Chain A
């Protein structure tokens, strides 16, 4: 699953890039981040609390910066173990472009989960990752740009949102209505799904 998005930030590119490398800024922007500690120029230790559907877990892991190309961008990747909840890992390729004094930030996120989170929350991962990415870059843009962020392009999961696809030899066309309605439906489904999952989870405890 991949999620793309773009933000316009009212700040020069150098400033944006510096912020992307500042653990304090990152900690403030990473949703659920309980601690972030720099261990080297390119590595940080992180503790993040995350909830996907019925599974809430504290992930301990590391954050690595790579492909660093100041001030054009880098790749930020994370990997964490959530105990019985399973694991989560992912990364974002971030590129910065100057545009009329502002900086246009492009991100391309891919995320992967395993174990219980995947087993019971697989349907919610697209939505959760999208939400987390939006939260992160939204906060980041606000913090660095000092103005309400502008989501230039609404991020849309690029993978097909239906992981049920049977091992099927047909190459089916996407439902036409889905493209337009996906955003709306997606959130509706996630909302209802999350509520149901939480209820089931609570009931089963």
Chain B
């Protein structure tokens, strides 16, 4: 029965029926009686003092219900937004934590900063009234250019962070690394910028809030990836509404990629204002607002050096990074360039000594936080760029240099010099498989053929590692994280035998409703159509940590399996009673309890019915009902790894780069639904190709205006920008979770940028090009080609 729907089956996504037929229910779809609509007045300046705000004309506009400014928020003593991860700097001091007011009261710090909220009977009326609010600004110099953000004399974003420095953090022992460099036969150096990205989830952020005067209960519908965490932050730190009086619902959510993890101003404002207005308030971001105010991703400036011995063995790695935090510290911003970045710098290699120094800088730009991969794409870009460059410099095959330095499969569990202990892995077969699928041997022939057409063809490798499945709570606590990182599950059978899986994870495109149902279908033998996955509502699901960091299956799925074990254990007792057998003799197979060696059998459904109608039931020994909870705290991160090989063709006349082949071989541990995994890998690669070739969030370096603030100027990848991907898998099951799974949500985006950029560099190497900045747009490529030509002349 379960073969078609169990673990390993390519089950079509059950949720797609409603997504594809337009019957999904998103926050903006909510029919709220007597709803009002919010519109936010935002700063057009990157940095300015607010001299005055005149709302009098706006208040007289038709349909206006209320107007709130930063002063109202300050007067009401609303707490500021928090950064939930305390990173200690190299002197052991906690990071600087400048205030993050829900609405700016006296100073605006980036274009898009919230200045006022208008609530009106309709969205148009709110917008019209917002136009009538007069804000008198005194513009100040803006700190925009990240490379210079920490320079002496740079405009200061917050007085609480002198010199714009949030922390100066390090990992590793610099003296040891320097000593290794002194003995190196070869040193490879790179200077790279990891370009800033705008998340662009298909559904913009939205929030709706309602206050029930009778009970004093608030309900917030939000496009959140983690409704319980959002509620915890709003309750404990910002609004002071007790957790049991605030219900947060994240219904269908159209993509997040990290940007919907965080607690934002707007959802805080509508919740706070709902009780003051006495009517529900709805807000949905316009695309312009999404560009300006969704937490952006990446944005690093890095110098790195790799020391090698005469045989090409890595001796040491040294990395200096400036990471952009934007104008305020978003919810998990401080952790991204430290514990999700520098701790990954060993990659798949045995590099014995690593030193990384990360300086987090404030700038007058939108806050920067986790975005698909969060720190790990940045680490992979550093490692895989420098390894490929070293191979070029040493005239070694890039695959051979990687193989020479891979952690051997016998070395697991492997302790890296940067804190993490890799649980499992076997890297050489992965690159071998990728080389086979990509027909690496035939590449030179393809390069020659491309040349005959006037095209420059290049090939690039990227062998990534990631730590995901966030995460062992005690480790997170030691590193400064403010929350636990377990996950919860509740399996609630109904008397008629169907079942609800209530999960603390949240699906916003990942397909949990299918994957989680497959787990239960496989484990308990319940048909898929008898299983309902419930998520995203703090009032119905157990407290959970939500979805990000490729954690839902490895942690949330493990919690489901733990709860299923409890169901089986209880079912055995019931079945033993019904069959008049000893519990020890009862086995559970294919959805049925049996007594070994006899034909006695009780289907699970019968045991469930007996549990709810306990007429013939061991009530003295066990409680009625079939409803089990489990919380699962992982023993370690999980460590998916893989190799991507990208082939590009470049037109040297126009600088246009075309991705013509892209192979990905991954070790995700055991795979539950290969079709969903493929979808995740495809989407991830496309996002990575987008970063490598197209996407770039650009602020004017002087004025801090967001120049790439619409789809006119911010290029998203489309289907015709990528080839059909070639995928493969190698499986080393995760040894510490019950499913042996590792997580696949971020891998594609983590590995792809380096693979594409290495291919671009390989294609351009014959022209003497040593560096193309990411994204490799036609302009950047063209300029690199002509820069190299000019240098050669």
Contacts and interface: CB of A to CB of B under 8 A. Distances in A.
Contacts of B301: 167
Interface in A167-197: 167-173, 175, 193, 196-197
Interface stretch (A23-31, A70-78, A110-118, A138-146): A110-118
A120 B709 contact: yes
Contact of B292 (A84, A119, A122): A119
A8 interface: no
B707 A172 contact: no
A83 B130 CA distance: 8
Contact of A173 (B145, B191, B790): B790
Interface stretch (A12-20, A129-137, A158-166): A158-166
Contacts of A87: 44-45
Interface string B763-793: 0000000010111010110111011001000
Contact of B44 (A86, A165, A175, A197): A86
B787 A170 contact: yes
Contacts, number: 111
Contacts of B357: none
Contacts of B132: 83
Contact of B698 (A112, A114, A164): A164
B130 A113 contact: no
A62 interface: no
B707 A122 contact: yes
B173 to A, nearest CB: 29
Interface centre among A123, A166, A169, A171 (most CB of B within 10 A): A166
Contact of B707 (A84, A118, A169): A118
B127 interface: yes
Given A81-B134, A84-B130, A166-B195, A118 B706 contact: yes
Interface in B532-556: none
A83 B713 contact: no
A88 B355 CA distance: 47
A145 B705 CA distance: 39
A123 B130 CA distance: 26
B705 A113 contact: yes
B780 A166 contact: yes
A197 to B, nearest CB: 7
A116 B780 contact: no
A114 B712 CA distance: 17
B700 interface: yes
Contact of B193 (A115, A163, A167, A172): A167
Contacts of B705: 113-115, 118-119, 122
Given A115-B44, A118-B705, A169-B773, A197 B786 contact: no
A119 B291 contact: yes
Contacts of A172: 783-784, 786-787
B710 interface: yes
B391 to A, nearest CB: 22
Nearest to B709: A119
B791 to A, nearest CB: 10
Nearest to B301: A167
Contacts of A81: 134
B131 interface: yes
A114 B775 CA distance: 25
A162 B779 contact: yes
Contacts of B713: 122-123, 164
A42 B782 CA distance: 49
B708 interface: yes
B134 A166 contact: no
A84 B131 contact: yes
A165 B700 CA distance: 10
- Interface size class, chain B: 35 or more
Interface string B689-722: 0000000101010010111111011000000000
A118 B779 contact: no
A86 B709 CA distance: 14
B709 A168 contact: no
B415 interface: no
Contact of A164 (B45, B288, B292, B777): B777
B782 A175 contact: yes
A173 B698 contact: no
Nearest to A196: B712
Interface string B15-55: 00000000000000000000000000111111000000000
A175 B111 CA distance: 32
A163 B700 contact: yes
A119 B700 contact: no
B147 interface: yes
A156 to B, nearest CB: 20
B664 interface: no
Nearest to A53: B712
Contacts of A120: 288, 709-710, 712
A162 B193 CA distance: 19
A174 to B, nearest CB: 9
B576 interface: no
Nearest to B784: A170
A169 to B, nearest CB: 6
Contacts of A123: 712-713
Contacts of A112: 703
Interface string A47-84: 00000000000000000000000000000000001011
Contacts of B336: none
B773 A119 contact: no
A173 B789 CA distance: 10
B773 A166 contact: yes
Contact of B786 (A84, A122, A173): A173
B502 to A, nearest CB: 39
Contacts of A166: 193, 195, 696, 698, 773-775, 777, 780
Nearest to A122: B707
B260 to A, nearest CB: 22
A164 B146 CA distance: 16
Nearest to B715: A164
A121 to B, nearest CB: 9
A164 B694 CA distance: 11
A86 to B, nearest CB: 4
B771 A169 contact: yes
A157 B85 CA distance: 47
Contacts of A118: 44, 111, 700, 703, 705-707, 709
A140 to B, nearest CB: 28
A7 B578 CA distance: 103
B72 to A, nearest CB: 21
Interface in B280-303: 288, 291-292, 301
B191 A169 contact: yes
A98 to B, nearest CB: 36
Contacts of A171: 787
A114 B137 CA distance: 12
B703 A114 contact: yes
A170 B780 CA distance: 10
20 contacts: A81-B134, A84-B41, A86-B44, A112-B703, A113-B705, A114-B44, A115-B42, A115-B44, A118-B706, A119-B707, A119-B710, A120-B709, A123-B712, A164-B698, A168-B193, A168-B780, A170-B783, A172-B786, A175-B786, A197-B712
Interface of A: 81, 83-84, 86-87, 112-116, 118-120, 122-123, 162-173, 175, 193, 196-197, 200
Given A84-B127, A118-B111, 13 more contacts: A84-B41, A114-B705, A115-B42, A119-B291, A120-B288, A122-B713, A163-B698, A164-B698, A166-B774, A167-B301, A168-B773, A170-B771, A175-B783
**Which are the 7 A-B pairs with shortest beta-carbon distances?**
A115-B44, A119-B709, A172-B783, A118-B705, A86-B44, A114-B44, A168-B773
